[in-house]
Structure 1
Amino acid sequence: MRLIVTCAFIGGCIFGIRGRVGYNPIKISEAYYCNDSFLNQLGINPAFNLLTSSLDDMRKENKEIHLMPYGKAITQARASLGITGKIDSTNVLSRDIKTCGPAKKHNVVVILMESMSASLMQTFGQNERLTPNLDSLFNHSLAFTNCYSAGIHTNQGMTAALYSFPAIMSRNLMKGTVTPHRDGIPTVLKRYGYHNLFFMTHEAQYDNMKAFFSTNGYDDIYSQENYPKNEVVNSFGVSDHFLFNYSLPIINKVSKSGKPFFATLLTISNHPPYIIPSFFHAKTSKPETQIVEYADWAIGDFLEKAKKQPWYKNTVFVILADHGKLVGNSNCELPVSYNHIPLMIFGADIPTMKCNNLMEQIDVMPTLLQLLNMSYKYNGFGINAINCKRTKAFYSADNEIVGRDAKRCYIFNPSMNRSFCYDVAPNGKLRQNKNIKQFSYLRNYVFSMTQTAEYTTRQSRLH
């Protein structure tokens, strides 16, 4: 009898610690129920906050990075971005972006595709025809051929593309004992009267998404908790086609309110374990390529249905990847296919043209808002690719940071304190170059931008 009582007591304690019977234990995100961060924080135990805050600071990925002195880094970062004038010690990159004439309040739909490396598209040399829809769209869009993701994780792709903040190696910038505040596309559009929606396939608390997006500009968030249980296909929730079909009537309803809308859809199917719906018949034989075919089909199917809606002609669409994946053989310490991603913008008032200049996810916000002719206060790391030419780019993975331009690629591993240098051939191939002095300007560039991002992160936590 004692054994039974003991087992029941231990089981009750474990259940109490987990807080739920779902795939993941209960997390801070579950306490968030509105857009007021103060009210959301009231539901979190202060002792729990203190403990998790201490544990967060001890995590390896959250340790402070020391690449160069903050003063030197900030000075160089501001110069790289063309920022002059007085420095705000908290928002060191702050500047006012002003446009002439009225804003174009087009609806905006952003689709962030899971793991869609540019190398998976025929446009970029893929031998198999995996992405006919994306390849066709790329030729009828404002398309960027040389775009790079900020990091190699979904949370990094979202904070970069939506909030213009770069990745800092393996760190998750959406998490924290107190959910971080970011200004980005959602917060700017909200000030212009937009209704903002976010659709994800998985649980809302994954990567602290519900808390982060509720705090940073989104009005409505739809996740696995909103979908029928029989549509959940794996631990990452529902399939892409269900997500798109679910979102369409909601978008239609919001569009009838008279407000412009901003809808963000995050796909997942191109992430293992691959679940290919039984109704979809792929042309290739391997699951790794079949799932890419399916993901491309789901995008095409959604757009065909969207074309029939009254809001379609007044909508700007942005399609890009959250990050890439390894395609083919590894060509260096951080294979280019992990970060080289497609980016296309099309729809209302968007010109059809190809841009071959360097482009980053952090540039999406200033570029999109320029296309919408919107003025705003900006503290991000990106540039407006419509009016400016990016000459250098920087990005990272869990263990490396990268600086590159049209001719050279510099990779640095902080834990090893080791540099890797490559020349970039006209066809994009990398060739090792041991003359590190030729890469000093890229080293200074990526060090200064990464160190400034570190400073900005720590200042936001203090305030």
Structure 2
Amino acid sequence: MKHFCSRYSILYGFIILFLFLSFLVRTALLIQSFPEADLSFADIFAIYGKGIVFDLGVALFFVLPYTIYLLSISKTWNSSFANRIITISVFACCVCISIFSFFAEFTFWNEFESRFNFIAVDYLIYTYEVLHNINESYSLPWLIGGVLAITVLLVFLFSRLAIFAISFRADTPFIVRLFHSLCLLLVTAVYIFFISNRWAEKGTNRYQQELSKAGIYSFVDAFRNNELSYVDFYSCHDSREVLATLRTDIKESNSIFIDNDSGIERQILNEETAYKPNVIMVTIESMSAAFMEHFGSKKNLTPMMDRLADSSMLFTDMYATGTRTVRGMEALTLSVPPTPGNSIVRRKDNEGLFNVGTVFRRKGYYCTFFYGGDGYFDNMNSYFSHNGFDIVDHGRSIIPDGEVVTERTIIPENNVHFQNAWGICDEDLFDAVIRQADQEYKWGRHFYHFIMSTSNHRPYTYPENKIDIPSGSGREGAVKYTDYAIGQFMAKARQKAWFRNTIFIFIADHCASSAGKEEITVNKYHIPALIYNLPGTVPQPVSALCSQIDLYPTLFGLLHWNYRSKFFGKNVFDTNYKPRSFISTYQILGFLEGDTLTSLSPIRNIRSYRLLKDNGVQQAIPVDKKGEEAAITYYQGAYDLFKAGKMRQ
């Protein structure tokens, strides 16, 4: 107790308070997740054991400046009125930040069932969308009011316990202060150099991993490691061997390599008569396959999508490459497996890449990216504009001169009937697409439109009286409204002269939720994908296991196009196609083939699982050597080629 009767009483009091509040947060998240987590007593013990270590690290980083401050100030200054004001104010700010972060953790967990990660770092950058989203979902004034009320209560409690008075009155000798400060600084240094967030990720149960972490500690770790070096953290082979194996694996029966063994560029040959229709792709926010009746849903949430599926080429076993919109965009535009860290959409040096727009433009198409919000978010406008797309969005941001190299059109307010934090409603966005298609047809252009919807996103608000579920009531209403908007879009499109020569693609960017007790829960990546109005084909299901990266190689094959390709994806109808898929988090890279999932993770870990499809369970098995080789070939190959600039046009 003598340490609490010294100048350090406030410091140690804050550490204890932070550890106690962190314990409550961890316990609440554990209770919330317990039905799905499948945790043993040993797992729970590990969660709290590792958790207190991470929590202590966060508390020590919070008090680091104060540790140095207490060592350096004199007795006179310590007891001064100015020091009292400064110390209590800073204490209140630290408590307020801590409380707010705990509230934010619950919000983040409800969305992603994860502690803070790369996504949280992104959200800190895009404060407008995030704050408006929080306000529309949870009422920001009430949230801030609650945080401030708890802060005032805790400051009052510390005052009543005389913790402030003890610190300000204490005459702690310099040698004692030096001992306290050095001990605290040494322990802090241990965290900096030796305790990584990956310590929490050594188990196989994802819930155990995430519950063991501390939110702020995870946030800082993600901020420091925004892009993971594959060669530093993952299992590798000789780069030349990887490239040689990759070239063999991606070669199609009608392809010829043309780059002298230095990359994967090849000529795709077709002798049949080529079609040249317009192409409109609607990338649907968070549309899990499980929402559709075709995949077992009984809730009638997607009647329009299900009707379209009956008249389309429906991919019944396609998987998203990741858990965020930018991952879906990366896969659909670049046809590349995900690499660890941020999506290429958000990275540096992502200009002038070979992408689906490259193929369309070489065929004489005009390419446009449509987004209902501000395309500044997640670097979308910069990425698409520097890769050959015009931009149509509902933006507020001003783009610096030279930043956007193609045209940008902002959807005018008089064409907007509803919007929330993430952008205008899907109906308004689809109307903008119709207007643009009309103009392109008038000009005699072939067009390719990449549309990113937003309505199926928290806070799940949309125009009233459109469907039988009230706006803002939850995910199911947003799914049904998005489906309704697609129905309206197609009804209007059918009235247009350009409709007969236009293909429509409907595909999800990712699923509504990716969380499960496994590090990668395979069925949480299963998405719908359908191609409608495809000339020369009859509606049919495509049952081959495939990935988002295979969509456009397959489409170009169905159109009988001759083109140059640097895609990793393949035409699923090619005789050389081997069913497989790529699924990932921002750190864990999964390769799915048959009923075997092989994952690569940092510190060169490799795991394999057998999928028991009857109940969705993933059973750990010895590492599958075939899966290991394939995973390393594709993921290391993608990383090597991007870093070497071999993915450019």
1:114–1:432 CA distance, 2 compared to 1 (3 A): closer
AA of the residue aligned to 1:422: R
Of 489, 498, 506, the residue aligned with 1:319 is 506
How far did residue 461 of structure 1 move?
8.3
Per chain length, whose mean CA-contact separation is higher, i.e. which structure has more relative contact order (CA < 8 Å, sep 6+)?
1
AA of the residue aligned to 2:635: T
Count the aligned residue pairs.
408
Of 376, 391, 405, the residue aligned with 2:563 is 376
Tell me the residue number matched to 1:448. Answer: 633
How far did residue 283 of structure 1 move?
4.5
Tell me the residue number matched to 1:68. Answer: 236
1:126–1:411 CA distance, 2 compared to 1 (3 A): farther
TM-score normalised by L of structure 1: 0.81
After TM superposition, the structure 1 = structure 2 runs for residues 122-201 of structure 1, keeping only pairs within 5 Å, are: 122-201=293-372
AA of the residue aligned to 1:378: S
How far did residue 378 of structure 1 move?
0.7
d(CA) in 1 for partners of 2:326, 2:260:
27
Find the residue that maps to 2:226 and give its secondary structure.
Answer: helix
Find the residue that maps to 2:428 and give its secondary structure.
Answer: helix
Query: Is residue 148–residue 359 contact of structure 1 (8 Å, CA) maintained in 2?
Result: yes
d(CA) in 1 for partners of 2:561, 2:636:
29
How far did residue 248 of structure 1 move?
0.9
d(CA) in 1 for partners of 2:566, 2:251:
13
Of 441, 447, 451, the residue aligned with 1:255 is 441
How far did residue 154 of structure 1 move?
1.0
Query: Is residue 179–residue 211 contact of structure 1 (8 Å, CA) maintained in 2?
Result: no
Query: Is residue 161–residue 362 contact of structure 1 (8 Å, CA) maintained in 2?
Result: yes
Tell me the residue number matched to 2:128. Answer: 23
- The answer to whether residue 558 in structure 2 is matched with residue 390 in structure 1 is no
1:324-371 alpha-carbon deviations (Å, 9 max, x no partner): 1228x8363222343211110111414311111111111112111112
1:233–1:212 CA distance, 2 compared to 1 (3 A): same
- Identify which range, 268-277 or 354-363, moves more after superposition: 268-277
1:452–1:418 CA distance, 2 compared to 1 (3 A): closer
Find the residue that maps to 2:352 and give its secondary structure.
Answer: coil
Query: Is residue 228–residue 340 contact of structure 2 (8 Å, CA) maintained in 1?
Result: no
1:294-316 alpha-carbon deviations (Å, 9 max, x no partner): 11111111011101111111111
Query: Is residue 319–residue 547 contact of structure 2 (8 Å, CA) maintained in 1?
Result: yes
- Identify which range, 298-307 or 284-293, moves more after superposition: 284-293
Larger radius of gyration: 2
Of 408, 417, 428, the residue aligned with 1:242 is 428
1:253–1:171 CA distance, 2 compared to 1 (3 A): same
How far did residue 65 of structure 1 move?
0.6
Query: Is residue 181–residue 460 contact of structure 1 (8 Å, CA) maintained in 2?
Result: no
AA of the residue aligned to 1:345: I
How far did residue 237 of structure 1 move?
1.3
Query: Is residue 610–residue 621 contact of structure 2 (8 Å, CA) maintained in 1?
Result: no
AA of the residue aligned to 2:277: H
1:116–1:73 CA distance, 2 compared to 1 (3 A): same
1:364-401 alpha-carbon deviations (Å, 9 max, x no partner): 12111112221111111100123243322222112311
- The answer to whether residue 380 in structure 2 is matched with residue 209 in structure 1 is yes
1:81-140 alpha-carbon deviations (Å, 9 max, x no partner): 237987848962111101124431111111100111111112111231111111121121
Find the residue that maps to 2:598 and give its secondary structure.
Answer: strand
Tell me the residue number matched to 2:483. Answer: 296
- Identify which range, 301-310 or 80-89, moves more after superposition: 80-89
Of 570, 589, 597, the residue aligned with 1:401 is 589
Find the residue that maps to 1:61 and give its secondary structure.
Answer: coil
d(CA) in 2 for partners of 1:257, 1:424:
54
Tell me the residue number matched to 1:227. Answer: 411
1:178–1:352 CA distance, 2 compared to 1 (3 A): same
1:251-287 alpha-carbon deviations (Å, 9 max, x no partner): 1111121121111211011111211211323348951
How far did residue 416 of structure 1 move?
8.0
Query: Is residue 403–residue 409 contact of structure 1 (8 Å, CA) maintained in 2?
Result: yes
1:411–1:198 CA distance, 2 compared to 1 (3 A): same
d(CA) in 1 for partners of 2:261, 2:470:
52
Q: Which has the higher helix share?
A: 2
- Identify which range, 384-393 or 371-380, moves more after superposition: 384-393
How far did residue 77 of structure 1 move?
2.0
Tell me the residue number matched to 1:336. Answer: 522
AA of the residue aligned to 1:68: C
d(CA) in 2 for partners of 1:152, 1:386:
27
d(CA) in 2 for partners of 1:345, 1:300:
15
d(CA) in 2 for partners of 1:198, 1:86:
30
After TM superposition, the structure 1 = structure 2 runs for residues 45-84 of structure 1, keeping only pairs within 5 Å, are: 59-66=224-231, 67-69=235-237, 70-82=239-251
Of 432, 454, 468, the residue aligned with 1:268 is 454
TM-score normalised by L of structure 2: 0.58
Find the residue that maps to 2:532 and give its secondary structure.
Answer: strand
1:61–1:161 CA distance, 2 compared to 1 (3 A): same
CA-atom RMSD, angstroms? 2.9
1:455–1:308 CA distance, 2 compared to 1 (3 A): same
1:440–1:125 CA distance, 2 compared to 1 (3 A): same
Query: Is residue 153–residue 323 contact of structure 1 (8 Å, CA) maintained in 2?
Result: yes
d(CA) in 1 for partners of 2:478, 2:392:
26
d(CA) in 2 for partners of 1:432, 1:179:
36
AA of the residue aligned to 2:567: G
d(CA) in 1 for partners of 2:392, 2:432:
13
Which runs of 5 or more residues in structure 1 are unaligned?
Answer: 1-20, 26-57
d(CA) in 1 for partners of 2:298, 2:554:
31
Find the residue that maps to 2:346 and give its secondary structure.
Answer: coil
Query: Is residue 333–residue 355 contact of structure 2 (8 Å, CA) maintained in 1?
Result: yes
d(CA) in 2 for partners of 1:432, 1:281:
38
Which runs of 5 or more residues in structure 2 are unaligned?
Answer: 1-125, 131-222, 397-409
Find the residue that maps to 1:293 and give its secondary structure.
Answer: helix
1:462–1:126 CA distance, 2 compared to 1 (3 A): closer
1:175–1:78 CA distance, 2 compared to 1 (3 A): same
AA of the residue aligned to 2:570: I
1:271–1:416 CA distance, 2 compared to 1 (3 A): farther
- Identify which range, 60-69 or 372-381, moves more after superposition: 60-69
d(CA) in 2 for partners of 1:461, 1:435:
36
